[in-house]
């Protein structure tokens, strides 16, 4: 028994095709843009936290601390990692936003 196909038998056929397309990694066009944008922002925050955790594991040396103003350096480094997270959320195709969107859209639109 294929649980994915069995659980989809109650959905509108257009919704099923959209979910299959999303799962296959093809062009995904969400119907609820606001919900998808919120999911994308969550993915960006998730990636940022992951990068911050990774950054904490890097040992600071005298070469990387060339300036005495480490507060300013940390501030701008944090801004750089914000931009990295935004770029990764748009280009890395981790699928977190897409999976969240499909789950939330399904539960909020009465499909599941």
CB atoms within 10 A of CB 105: 20
Query: What is the per-residue pLDDT for 46?
Result: 95
Tens digits of residue pLDDT in 23-75: 555 567 888 899 999 999 999 999 999 999 999 898 877 765 555 667 888 88
d(CA 86, CA 41): 8
Mean pLDDT of the chain: 78
**Cα–Cα distances in angstroms (integers) from residue 14 to residues 17, 46, 71, 86, in the given order:** 5, 30, 53, 31
Q: What is the pTM of this model?
A: 0.64
pLDDT of residue 36: 92
DSSP line for 58-89: SPP-TTT--SS-HHHHHHHHHHHHHHHHHHHH
Residue 95 corresponds to which tokens in the numbers above? 């699928």
């Amino acid at each position: 028994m294929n649980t994915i196909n069995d659980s989809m038998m109650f959905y509108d056929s257009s919704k099923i095709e959209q979910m299959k397309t999303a799962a296959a990694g093809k062009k995904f066009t969400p119907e609820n843009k606001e919900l998808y944008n919120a999911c994308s922002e969550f993915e960006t925050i998730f990636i940022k936290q992951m990068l911050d955790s990774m950054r904490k594991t890097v040992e600071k040396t005298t070469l990387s601390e060339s300036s005495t103003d480490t507060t300013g350096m940390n501030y701008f480094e944090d801004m750089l990692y914000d931009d990295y997270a935004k770029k990764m959320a748009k280009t890395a195709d981790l699928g977190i936003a897409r999976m969240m969107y499909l789950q939330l859209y399904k539960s909020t639109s009465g499909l599941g």
